[in-house]
Structure 1
Amino acid sequence: MFEIGNSLREARLRQHLEFPEMEQATKIRAKYLRALEDEQFDVLPAQTYVKGFLRSYAEYLGLDGQLYVDEYNSRFVVGEEEAPPRPRRSAPPPSRGAQVQSRVVLLTLLGIAAVTAIVIVAWTWGEPQKKEPVGLGTTPAQTPAVVQPPVAAKTVRLIVTALRGNCWLEVHSGSATGRIIFQGTLERGQRHVFTGRKLWITLDRPENLRTILNGHTRVLPGGGVKTLIVTSRGVRPGV
Protein backbone atom coordinates (compact mmCIF):
# COMPACT_ATOMS: atom_id res chain seq x y z
CA MET A 1 0.00 0.00 0.00
CA PHE A 2 1.31 3.45 -0.91
CA GLU A 3 0.05 7.00 -1.10
CA ILE A 4 -1.26 7.59 -4.60
CA GLY A 5 -1.34 11.40 -4.47
CA ASN A 6 2.04 11.93 -2.77
CA SER A 7 3.73 9.47 -5.14
CA LEU A 8 2.40 11.35 -8.18
CA ARG A 9 3.37 14.74 -6.75
CA GLU A 10 6.91 13.64 -5.93
CA ALA A 11 7.39 12.20 -9.43
CA ARG A 12 6.17 15.47 -11.01
CA LEU A 13 8.37 17.66 -8.83
CA ARG A 14 11.44 15.53 -9.51
CA GLN A 15 10.92 16.25 -13.23
CA HIS A 16 10.23 19.97 -12.58
CA LEU A 17 6.85 19.84 -14.32
CA GLU A 18 4.02 22.31 -13.77
CA PHE A 19 0.28 21.79 -14.14
CA PRO A 20 -0.18 23.93 -17.30
CA GLU A 21 2.51 21.90 -19.03
CA MET A 22 1.00 18.64 -17.79
CA GLU A 23 -2.50 19.69 -18.89
CA GLN A 24 -1.29 20.36 -22.43
CA ALA A 25 0.67 17.10 -22.59
CA THR A 26 -1.94 14.73 -21.10
CA LYS A 27 -5.08 16.58 -22.34
CA ILE A 28 -6.40 16.36 -18.74
CA ARG A 29 -7.56 19.55 -17.07
CA ALA A 30 -5.22 20.91 -14.39
CA LYS A 31 -7.86 20.81 -11.64
CA TYR A 32 -8.31 17.06 -12.21
CA LEU A 33 -4.53 16.49 -12.06
CA ARG A 34 -4.39 18.44 -8.81
CA ALA A 35 -7.34 16.41 -7.45
CA LEU A 36 -5.43 13.19 -8.22
CA GLU A 37 -2.41 14.40 -6.26
CA ASP A 38 -4.68 15.47 -3.36
CA GLU A 39 -6.62 12.19 -3.62
CA GLN A 40 -9.85 14.14 -3.94
CA PHE A 41 -11.34 11.63 -6.32
CA ASP A 42 -14.87 12.88 -5.79
CA VAL A 43 -13.98 15.98 -7.85
CA LEU A 44 -13.70 13.84 -10.97
CA PRO A 45 -16.93 13.02 -12.87
CA ALA A 46 -16.99 9.25 -12.23
CA GLN A 47 -14.84 6.28 -11.26
CA THR A 48 -14.26 5.49 -14.93
CA TYR A 49 -12.67 8.90 -15.44
CA VAL A 50 -10.66 8.50 -12.22
CA LYS A 51 -9.09 5.25 -13.43
CA GLY A 52 -8.41 6.57 -16.92
CA PHE A 53 -6.91 9.86 -15.72
CA LEU A 54 -4.89 8.06 -13.05
CA ARG A 55 -3.41 5.62 -15.57
CA SER A 56 -2.56 8.35 -18.11
CA TYR A 57 -1.03 10.67 -15.51
CA ALA A 58 1.12 7.93 -13.95
CA GLU A 59 2.39 6.62 -17.27
CA TYR A 60 3.27 10.12 -18.45
CA LEU A 61 5.43 10.52 -15.32
CA GLY A 62 7.15 7.22 -16.12
CA LEU A 63 5.29 5.19 -13.49
CA ASP A 64 3.32 1.94 -13.75
CA GLY A 65 -0.20 3.08 -14.55
CA GLN A 66 -1.82 -0.29 -13.83
CA LEU A 67 -0.22 -0.36 -10.37
CA TYR A 68 -1.89 2.94 -9.49
CA VAL A 69 -5.26 1.74 -10.82
CA ASP A 70 -5.03 -1.44 -8.74
CA GLU A 71 -4.16 0.59 -5.64
CA TYR A 72 -7.14 2.84 -6.26
CA ASN A 73 -9.46 -0.16 -6.68
CA SER A 74 -8.24 -1.79 -3.48
CA ARG A 75 -8.69 1.34 -1.39
CA PHE A 76 -11.61 3.26 -2.84
CA VAL A 77 -13.76 0.91 -4.93
CA VAL A 78 -16.09 -1.08 -2.66
CA GLY A 79 -17.87 -3.03 -5.42
CA GLU A 80 -19.87 -2.25 -8.50
CA GLU A 81 -23.50 -3.12 -8.29
CA GLU A 82 -24.76 -5.16 -11.16
CA ALA A 83 -27.46 -3.53 -13.16
CA PRO A 84 -30.77 -5.34 -12.84
CA PRO A 85 -31.61 -7.36 -15.92
CA ARG A 86 -34.11 -5.75 -18.26
CA PRO A 87 -37.37 -7.60 -18.63
CA ARG A 88 -37.75 -9.11 -22.08
CA ARG A 89 -40.63 -7.85 -24.08
CA SER A 90 -42.91 -10.51 -25.33
CA ALA A 91 -43.98 -10.31 -28.92
CA PRO A 92 -47.40 -8.68 -29.32
CA PRO A 93 -50.17 -11.07 -30.28
CA PRO A 94 -51.09 -10.98 -33.98
CA SER A 95 -53.93 -8.66 -34.88
CA ARG A 96 -57.34 -9.97 -35.85
CA GLY A 97 -56.89 -8.73 -39.42
CA ALA A 98 -53.66 -10.70 -39.79
CA GLN A 99 -55.36 -13.83 -38.46
CA VAL A 100 -58.22 -13.49 -40.95
CA GLN A 101 -55.80 -12.93 -43.82
CA SER A 102 -53.80 -16.01 -42.84
CA ARG A 103 -56.96 -18.12 -42.79
CA VAL A 104 -58.00 -16.86 -46.23
CA VAL A 105 -54.59 -17.71 -47.68
CA LEU A 106 -54.71 -21.17 -46.09
CA LEU A 107 -58.20 -21.90 -47.43
CA THR A 108 -57.17 -20.73 -50.91
CA LEU A 109 -54.17 -23.05 -50.94
CA LEU A 110 -56.32 -25.96 -49.77
CA GLY A 111 -58.84 -25.25 -52.55
CA ILE A 112 -56.13 -25.18 -55.21
CA ALA A 113 -54.71 -28.46 -53.92
CA ALA A 114 -58.16 -30.10 -54.00
CA VAL A 115 -58.87 -28.99 -57.58
CA THR A 116 -55.45 -30.21 -58.70
CA ALA A 117 -56.06 -33.61 -57.11
CA ILE A 118 -59.46 -33.95 -58.83
CA VAL A 119 -57.97 -33.11 -62.23
CA ILE A 120 -55.17 -35.66 -61.77
CA VAL A 121 -57.60 -38.42 -60.74
CA ALA A 122 -59.94 -37.67 -63.65
CA TRP A 123 -57.09 -37.71 -66.14
CA THR A 124 -55.64 -40.94 -64.70
CA TRP A 125 -58.86 -42.99 -64.54
CA GLY A 126 -60.65 -41.57 -67.55
CA GLU A 127 -61.13 -44.02 -70.44
CA PRO A 128 -59.52 -43.01 -73.72
CA GLN A 129 -61.91 -42.51 -76.62
CA LYS A 130 -61.97 -45.33 -79.12
CA LYS A 131 -60.89 -44.41 -82.59
CA GLU A 132 -63.21 -45.63 -85.33
CA PRO A 133 -61.35 -47.66 -87.97
CA VAL A 134 -60.93 -46.00 -91.27
CA GLY A 135 -63.37 -47.31 -93.87
CA LEU A 136 -66.16 -48.38 -91.45
CA GLY A 137 -69.15 -46.05 -91.54
CA THR A 138 -67.16 -43.21 -92.99
CA THR A 139 -67.79 -41.38 -96.20
CA PRO A 140 -64.80 -41.34 -98.52
CA ALA A 141 -63.47 -37.91 -99.16
CA GLN A 142 -64.34 -36.51 -102.55
CA THR A 143 -61.53 -35.39 -104.77
CA PRO A 144 -61.98 -31.71 -105.55
CA ALA A 145 -62.38 -30.85 -109.17
CA VAL A 146 -59.31 -29.41 -110.79
CA VAL A 147 -60.01 -26.01 -112.27
CA GLN A 148 -58.06 -25.46 -115.43
CA PRO A 149 -56.64 -21.96 -115.75
CA PRO A 150 -57.86 -20.00 -118.74
CA VAL A 151 -55.64 -20.17 -121.77
CA ALA A 152 -53.86 -16.89 -122.19
CA ALA A 153 -54.20 -15.23 -125.53
CA LYS A 154 -51.13 -15.45 -127.70
CA THR A 155 -49.03 -12.36 -128.10
CA VAL A 156 -48.71 -10.69 -131.48
CA ARG A 157 -45.22 -9.86 -132.71
CA LEU A 158 -45.43 -7.83 -135.90
CA ILE A 159 -42.33 -6.66 -137.78
CA VAL A 160 -42.93 -4.09 -140.56
CA THR A 161 -40.20 -2.84 -142.92
CA ALA A 162 -40.58 -0.02 -145.47
CA LEU A 163 -39.04 -2.02 -148.27
CA ARG A 164 -40.37 -0.34 -151.46
CA GLY A 165 -41.06 3.21 -150.23
CA ASN A 166 -42.43 5.37 -147.45
CA CYS A 167 -45.57 4.34 -145.53
CA TRP A 168 -47.69 6.28 -143.04
CA LEU A 169 -48.85 4.26 -139.98
CA GLU A 170 -51.14 4.69 -136.96
CA VAL A 171 -51.14 1.71 -134.60
CA HIS A 172 -53.61 1.29 -131.68
CA SER A 173 -53.54 -1.37 -128.96
CA GLY A 174 -56.68 -3.51 -128.68
CA SER A 175 -59.17 -1.46 -130.72
CA ALA A 176 -59.62 1.58 -132.93
CA THR A 177 -59.94 3.77 -129.82
CA GLY A 178 -57.21 2.01 -127.86
CA ARG A 179 -53.89 3.43 -126.79
CA ILE A 180 -51.79 4.75 -129.68
CA ILE A 181 -48.44 2.99 -129.69
CA PHE A 182 -47.15 4.47 -132.96
CA GLN A 183 -48.13 7.29 -135.30
CA GLY A 184 -45.95 8.61 -138.11
CA THR A 185 -44.22 7.86 -141.40
CA LEU A 186 -42.00 4.85 -141.74
CA GLU A 187 -39.43 5.90 -144.32
CA ARG A 188 -37.92 3.55 -146.85
CA GLY A 189 -35.45 1.16 -145.27
CA GLN A 190 -36.76 1.68 -141.72
CA ARG A 191 -38.14 -1.15 -139.61
CA HIS A 192 -40.42 -1.21 -136.56
CA VAL A 193 -41.58 -3.98 -134.23
CA PHE A 194 -45.04 -3.96 -132.58
CA THR A 195 -46.21 -6.36 -129.85
CA GLY A 196 -49.53 -6.93 -128.11
CA ARG A 197 -52.52 -9.24 -128.01
CA LYS A 198 -54.41 -7.30 -130.69
CA LEU A 199 -53.27 -4.47 -132.96
CA TRP A 200 -55.53 -2.06 -134.86
CA ILE A 201 -53.52 -0.52 -137.73
CA THR A 202 -54.44 2.26 -140.17
CA LEU A 203 -51.88 2.73 -142.96
CA ASP A 204 -51.38 4.36 -146.36
CA ARG A 205 -49.76 2.48 -149.27
CA PRO A 206 -49.42 -0.88 -147.44
CA GLU A 207 -47.90 -2.41 -150.58
CA ASN A 208 -44.61 -0.66 -149.70
CA LEU A 209 -44.28 -2.74 -146.50
CA ARG A 210 -42.81 -6.13 -145.84
CA THR A 211 -44.76 -7.69 -142.93
CA ILE A 212 -43.72 -10.63 -140.71
CA LEU A 213 -46.30 -11.86 -138.14
CA ASN A 214 -44.98 -14.24 -135.44
CA GLY A 215 -42.22 -15.42 -137.77
CA HIS A 216 -44.41 -15.78 -140.89
CA THR A 217 -44.45 -13.37 -143.84
CA ARG A 218 -47.82 -11.78 -144.53
CA VAL A 219 -48.82 -9.98 -147.76
CA LEU A 220 -50.97 -6.92 -147.11
CA PRO A 221 -53.63 -5.76 -149.56
CA GLY A 222 -52.56 -2.64 -151.49
CA GLY A 223 -54.36 0.41 -152.85
CA GLY A 224 -54.75 3.53 -150.71
CA VAL A 225 -55.57 3.82 -147.00
CA LYS A 226 -56.37 0.56 -145.25
CA THR A 227 -57.49 -0.41 -141.73
CA LEU A 228 -56.31 -3.83 -140.58
CA ILE A 229 -56.83 -5.92 -137.43
CA VAL A 230 -53.83 -8.04 -136.48
CA THR A 231 -54.09 -10.99 -134.07
CA SER A 232 -52.08 -14.15 -133.55
CA ARG A 233 -54.37 -15.89 -136.04
CA GLY A 234 -53.62 -13.50 -138.88
CA VAL A 235 -54.51 -10.18 -140.53
CA ARG A 236 -58.04 -9.18 -141.48
CA PRO A 237 -59.66 -5.94 -142.64
CA GLY A 238 -61.06 -3.63 -140.00
CA VAL A 239 -64.68 -2.49 -139.99
Structure 2
Amino acid sequence: MAAPRRGPSAIGPSPRCRSRFGTLRGARPLLERWANVSDAARGCAMRTDSIGHWLKSERETRRLSIEEVASTTRIPRKTLESLEEDRFEDLPSGVFVRGFIKAYATVVEMDADEVLARFDSERPQALPPAPLATVQRRRGYGALVLAITTFALFAIIVATFSLVRRAPAQDDPIELSSALPCLVEAAKAERSYYGPSTTVTPIESSLC
Protein backbone atom coordinates (compact mmCIF):
# COMPACT_ATOMS: atom_id res chain seq x y z
CA MET A 1 0.00 0.00 0.00
CA ALA A 2 1.44 3.32 -1.04
CA ALA A 3 2.19 5.91 1.61
CA PRO A 4 -0.16 8.91 1.64
CA ARG A 5 1.22 11.98 -0.06
CA ARG A 6 1.61 15.15 1.92
CA GLY A 7 -0.18 18.24 0.73
CA PRO A 8 1.46 21.60 0.21
CA SER A 9 0.31 22.72 3.65
CA ALA A 10 2.23 19.89 5.25
CA ILE A 11 5.48 20.87 3.54
CA GLY A 12 7.60 23.40 5.50
CA PRO A 13 11.22 24.34 5.95
CA SER A 14 13.42 21.93 7.73
CA PRO A 15 14.67 22.77 11.23
CA ARG A 16 18.07 23.69 9.80
CA CYS A 17 16.53 26.19 7.37
CA ARG A 18 14.39 27.65 10.15
CA SER A 19 17.49 28.21 12.25
CA ARG A 20 19.23 29.95 9.35
CA PHE A 21 16.23 32.18 8.71
CA GLY A 22 16.13 33.08 12.35
CA THR A 23 19.81 33.98 12.30
CA LEU A 24 19.38 36.23 9.26
CA ARG A 25 16.29 37.84 10.77
CA GLY A 26 18.22 38.59 13.91
CA ALA A 27 21.21 39.93 11.97
CA ARG A 28 19.13 42.42 10.01
CA PRO A 29 18.90 45.01 12.81
CA LEU A 30 22.64 44.73 13.26
CA LEU A 31 23.22 45.42 9.57
CA GLU A 32 20.89 48.42 9.65
CA ARG A 33 22.63 49.74 12.74
CA TRP A 34 26.00 49.29 11.05
CA ALA A 35 24.78 51.19 7.99
CA ASN A 36 23.60 54.05 10.19
CA VAL A 37 26.95 54.11 11.96
CA SER A 38 28.75 54.16 8.62
CA ASP A 39 26.65 57.10 7.42
CA ALA A 40 27.34 58.97 10.64
CA ALA A 41 31.04 58.25 10.33
CA ARG A 42 31.06 59.52 6.77
CA GLY A 43 29.25 62.65 7.89
CA CYS A 44 31.78 63.24 10.67
CA ALA A 45 34.65 62.72 8.26
CA MET A 46 33.06 65.18 5.86
CA ARG A 47 32.70 67.77 8.61
CA THR A 48 36.28 67.36 9.78
CA ASP A 49 37.70 67.69 6.27
CA SER A 50 38.72 71.10 5.01
CA ILE A 51 36.66 72.96 2.44
CA GLY A 52 39.11 72.20 -0.33
CA HIS A 53 39.36 68.49 0.51
CA TRP A 54 35.59 68.27 0.77
CA LEU A 55 35.13 69.73 -2.71
CA LYS A 56 37.88 67.55 -4.15
CA SER A 57 36.34 64.40 -2.62
CA GLU A 58 32.96 65.19 -4.15
CA ARG A 59 34.59 65.82 -7.51
CA GLU A 60 36.44 62.50 -7.43
CA THR A 61 33.29 60.69 -6.27
CA ARG A 62 31.50 61.91 -9.38
CA ARG A 63 34.52 60.99 -11.53
CA LEU A 64 35.05 64.52 -12.76
CA SER A 65 38.49 65.75 -13.70
CA ILE A 66 39.69 69.15 -12.63
CA GLU A 67 39.87 70.12 -16.31
CA GLU A 68 36.14 69.41 -16.68
CA VAL A 69 35.33 71.56 -13.67
CA ALA A 70 37.54 74.34 -15.03
CA SER A 71 35.84 74.13 -18.44
CA THR A 72 32.34 74.23 -16.93
CA THR A 73 32.96 76.99 -14.40
CA ARG A 74 35.42 78.95 -16.60
CA ILE A 75 37.73 79.16 -13.61
CA PRO A 76 41.47 78.65 -14.29
CA ARG A 77 42.84 75.27 -13.27
CA LYS A 78 45.50 76.89 -11.11
CA THR A 79 42.79 78.65 -9.11
CA LEU A 80 40.86 75.41 -8.64
CA GLU A 81 44.00 73.64 -7.46
CA SER A 82 44.64 76.39 -4.92
CA LEU A 83 41.03 76.04 -3.76
CA GLU A 84 41.29 72.26 -3.34
CA GLU A 85 44.58 72.64 -1.44
CA ASP A 86 43.15 75.35 0.85
CA ARG A 87 45.75 77.88 -0.31
CA PHE A 88 43.40 80.81 0.08
CA GLU A 89 46.31 83.23 0.36
CA ASP A 90 46.94 82.63 -3.37
CA LEU A 91 43.35 83.54 -4.25
CA PRO A 92 41.70 86.96 -4.63
CA SER A 93 39.56 88.61 -1.97
CA GLY A 94 36.75 86.85 -0.13
CA VAL A 95 34.03 87.87 -2.58
CA PHE A 96 35.79 86.13 -5.47
CA VAL A 97 36.56 83.06 -3.34
CA ARG A 98 32.89 82.71 -2.45
CA GLY A 99 32.02 82.86 -6.13
CA PHE A 100 34.57 80.14 -6.92
CA ILE A 101 33.24 77.91 -4.14
CA LYS A 102 29.63 78.38 -5.24
CA ALA A 103 30.44 77.56 -8.87
CA TYR A 104 32.53 74.52 -7.87
CA ALA A 105 29.82 73.21 -5.52
CA THR A 106 27.16 73.61 -8.20
CA VAL A 107 29.17 71.60 -10.73
CA VAL A 108 29.73 68.68 -8.32
CA GLU A 109 26.04 68.77 -7.27
CA MET A 110 26.61 69.97 -3.71
CA ASP A 111 24.52 72.35 -1.64
CA ALA A 112 26.27 75.62 -2.38
CA ASP A 113 24.62 77.43 0.54
CA GLU A 114 25.80 74.78 2.99
CA VAL A 115 29.35 74.92 1.66
CA LEU A 116 29.41 78.72 1.82
CA ALA A 117 28.01 78.72 5.35
CA ARG A 118 30.73 76.35 6.46
CA PHE A 119 33.35 78.44 4.68
CA ASP A 120 32.16 81.58 6.48
CA SER A 121 32.19 79.83 9.85
CA GLU A 122 35.67 78.37 9.39
CA ARG A 123 37.30 81.38 7.77
CA PRO A 124 36.05 84.65 9.26
CA GLN A 125 37.13 87.95 7.84
CA ALA A 126 40.90 88.28 8.12
CA LEU A 127 40.77 92.02 8.78
CA PRO A 128 38.38 93.20 11.52
CA PRO A 129 36.58 96.50 11.04
CA ALA A 130 38.78 99.46 11.88
CA PRO A 131 38.01 101.28 15.14
CA LEU A 132 36.22 104.60 14.97
CA ALA A 133 39.25 106.50 16.29
CA THR A 134 41.41 105.10 13.50
CA VAL A 135 38.86 106.13 10.88
CA GLN A 136 38.65 109.65 12.31
CA ARG A 137 42.44 109.89 12.41
CA ARG A 138 42.66 108.87 8.77
CA ARG A 139 40.03 111.45 7.86
CA GLY A 140 42.03 114.13 9.73
CA TYR A 141 45.17 113.22 7.80
CA GLY A 142 43.23 113.38 4.55
CA ALA A 143 41.90 116.87 5.33
CA LEU A 144 45.41 118.07 6.22
CA VAL A 145 46.87 116.71 2.99
CA LEU A 146 44.04 118.31 1.01
CA ALA A 147 44.66 121.71 2.65
CA ILE A 148 48.41 121.56 1.98
CA THR A 149 47.83 120.57 -1.63
CA THR A 150 45.33 123.38 -2.15
CA PHE A 151 47.69 125.97 -0.64
CA ALA A 152 50.58 124.75 -2.82
CA LEU A 153 48.47 124.99 -5.97
CA PHE A 154 47.32 128.49 -5.02
CA ALA A 155 50.93 129.61 -4.43
CA ILE A 156 51.99 128.20 -7.81
CA ILE A 157 49.15 130.02 -9.58
CA VAL A 158 50.00 133.36 -7.88
CA ALA A 159 53.71 133.03 -8.71
CA THR A 160 52.95 132.20 -12.34
CA PHE A 161 50.58 135.17 -12.66
CA SER A 162 53.19 137.53 -11.17
CA LEU A 163 55.86 136.35 -13.59
CA VAL A 164 53.53 136.84 -16.53
CA ARG A 165 52.75 140.43 -15.47
CA ARG A 166 56.43 141.30 -14.98
CA ALA A 167 57.57 139.93 -18.33
CA PRO A 168 56.57 142.97 -20.55
CA ALA A 169 58.17 145.52 -18.13
CA GLN A 170 61.50 143.74 -18.37
CA ASP A 171 61.47 143.61 -22.15
CA ASP A 172 61.53 147.45 -22.71
CA PRO A 173 64.85 148.24 -20.95
CA ILE A 174 66.47 145.36 -22.71
CA GLU A 175 65.38 146.63 -26.12
CA LEU A 176 66.44 150.23 -25.29
CA SER A 177 69.84 149.19 -24.03
CA SER A 178 70.42 147.16 -27.15
CA ALA A 179 69.41 150.13 -29.36
CA LEU A 180 71.64 152.74 -27.65
CA PRO A 181 74.93 151.55 -29.23
CA CYS A 182 73.36 151.79 -32.67
CA LEU A 183 72.21 155.38 -32.02
CA VAL A 184 75.63 156.42 -30.73
CA GLU A 185 77.31 154.98 -33.80
CA ALA A 186 74.87 156.83 -36.04
CA ALA A 187 75.61 160.12 -34.25
CA LYS A 188 79.35 159.63 -34.66
CA ALA A 189 78.94 158.93 -38.35
CA GLU A 190 76.85 162.05 -38.82
CA ARG A 191 79.42 164.19 -36.95
CA SER A 192 82.24 162.89 -39.13
CA TYR A 193 80.21 163.63 -42.26
CA TYR A 194 79.50 167.27 -41.45
CA GLY A 195 82.94 167.93 -40.02
CA PRO A 196 84.21 168.92 -36.60
CA SER A 197 82.68 172.43 -36.67
CA THR A 198 79.17 171.00 -36.89
CA THR A 199 77.52 170.11 -33.61
CA VAL A 200 75.08 167.31 -33.15
CA THR A 201 73.56 168.64 -29.97
CA PRO A 202 70.05 168.81 -31.43
CA ILE A 203 70.33 165.18 -32.45
CA GLU A 204 71.39 164.07 -29.00
CA SER A 205 68.71 166.20 -27.36
CA SER A 206 66.12 164.75 -29.64
CA LEU A 207 67.24 161.28 -28.66
CA CYS A 208 66.87 162.09 -24.98
Same fold (TM over 0.5): no
**Larger fraction in helix:** 2
- TM-score bracket, shorter-length normalisation: 0.3 to 0.5
**Larger fraction in strand:** 1
